[in-house]
Structure 1
Amino acid sequence: MTDKPDRRQVRTKQLLYDALMGLIEEKGVDSVNVTDIANRANLNRGTFYLHYRDVPDMLQQLKDDVFESVKSRFLKLDFQEAMAHADRNEIYPPSVRIFEELARHARFLRAMFGAMGDLSYAIRFRKLMTKQIFEKVDFLPNIENPPVPRDYVIAYMTSANFGMILHWLECGMDKTPEQMTRIMMKIVNYGPLVSFGLREAPPGSMK
């Protein structure tokens, strides 16, 4: 019997969440107020205030929860392991877990990253990816006069990978996390020209 209030709270927060998402998708994040959410969820305003101070507080809690859950998956990436898997043409499981986590929060991320969402939230994710790539490639040797400066390569990788994630979410996740991992692996390893089919891939590399 003691778990009933918890289940009720979970259900109430889910109703509030669904209402918020629907309203953001309809009229944008900046136009939603407490009355809108309460009415859409068929709850009174007092119930809303049992869980959140206001709409910005609700949004911030959701944004932080989703960000931290995805970040925890990024922290498990190991570029050396990923490269070894790519050399063997094998799926790298931690990358799959990232796409699975993104899929779990797909509706929220689409709303936040969309035209009526919160640009600063997209920038927050992009900075996370940039930071992780910078930190994870420390094992690479510092090459004097590299063909392209490292920071530009990382900027390209970050923008390209983030763009792929956005496209995947916007397309309704028409590829599985495993398929997305393999697509990303191919593009990172062999570049867009090979991925487009404009250049030949190394033998056995594009299975």
Structure 2
Amino acid sequence: MADKMDRRQQRTKQLLYDALMSLIEEKGLEHVTVTDIANRAEVNRGTFYLHYQDVPDMVQQLKEAVFEQMRTIIVRIDPQQSIQYANKNEPYPVIIELFEELGKHADFYRVMLGPKGDLSYAIQLRKLISKNVYEKFNYLPRSNGLPVPIDYMIAFVSSANLGMIMHWFESGMSLTPREMGAMMTNIINFGPLTTFGLRDLPVRSPEDHEQMKET
């Protein structure tokens, strides 16, 4: 009986989720009401309130669940490991995993990051990427020791990565997670000009080749 009830609740929450996503695309997040969601899901308002307090509560619960799954992957991204894979002309596995996770929630990201979604969520994701980049490069000097101030570098990297993710959704995810992982690995490590073929790859030293063999 409990399993049957759990399946029924999961099905109801899926109906409510599908209704919310479609309504956001049509009306914009700020204009969606509980009545709209209940009518679209073909359930009564009481059923909605069994799961959520109101529309903002529903949206917040969804955002937190998806965000936490994303966070557990992003914190594992290691720039030094990424360099090793880029030198071998291979995509960094953690970035592939990132795009696989994004693909699992494609409808959610496409809607929430879209023009009628929630701008604050895009900002939250960018801050998550920025925080991770900053922590991984905390050994770098914070003043004039860098050709580009670290805060500008982090702003560029986080915004560029989020832009690639958003374009992937906008273009119908025509590239696989592995293809996206390979592209992002190269851009992160070699920059856009080299990745686009406008500059040659940097010449590797003998030490670099030895490091590639070891990995």
Normalising by the smaller structure, the TM-score range is over 0.9
CA distance in 2, matches of 1:83, 1:143: 24
Query: Quick one: distance in 2 between partners of 1:85 and 1:201?
Result: 14
Relative contact order, CA 8 A, sep 6+: which one is greater?
2
Q: Share of identical aligned residues, percent?
A: 58
Instruction: Mark the CA change 1:83 to 1:195 in structure 2 (over 3 Å): closer, same or farther.
Output: closer
Q: Structure 1 residue 185: deviation in Å?
A: 1.2
For these two proteins, the number of residue pairs brought into alignment is 204
1:1-207 counterparts in 2 under 5 A?
Answer: 1-140=1-140, 145-202=145-202
Q: TM-score, normalised by structure 1?
A: 0.93
Q: Which deviates the most, 9-18 or 93-102?
A: 93-102
CA distance change for structure 1 residues 110 and 192 in 2, over 3 Å: closer, same or farther?
A: same
Structure 2 gap ranges (5+): 205-215
CA distance in 1 between counterparts of 2:31 and 2:99 reads 30
Q: Root-mean-square deviation (CA), in Å?
A: 1.7
Q: Which moved more, 1:137-146 or 1:121-130?
A: 137-146
Aligned 8 A contact 2:21 2:108 in 1: yes
Report if the CA contact (8 A) 2:18-2:41 is conserved.
yes
Give the deviation of 1:181 after TM superposition: 0.7
User: Which deviates further from its counterpart, 192-201 or 60-69?
Assistant: 192-201
CA contact (8 A) 2:95 2:185 kept: no
Q: TM-score, normalised by structure 2?
A: 0.89
Distance between the aligned counterparts of 2:140 and 2:83, measured in 1? 12
Note closer, same or farther for the CA distance 1:195–1:100 as it changes in structure 2 (3 Å cut): same
Residues in 1 aligned to 2:90 and 2:197: alpha-carbon distance in whole angstroms: 21
Between the aligned partners of 2:31 and 2:149, the Cα distance in structure 1 is 43
Which consecutive residues of structure 1, in runs of 5 or more, have no partner in the other structure? none
- Tell me by how many angstroms 1:196 deviates: 2.5
Q: CA deviation at 1:201?
A: 2.7
Q: Which residue identity does 2:186 align to in structure 1? A: K
SS across alignment from 2:18:
helix
How far did residue 147 of structure 1 move?
1.5
Q: Which amino acid aligns with 1:17?
A: Y
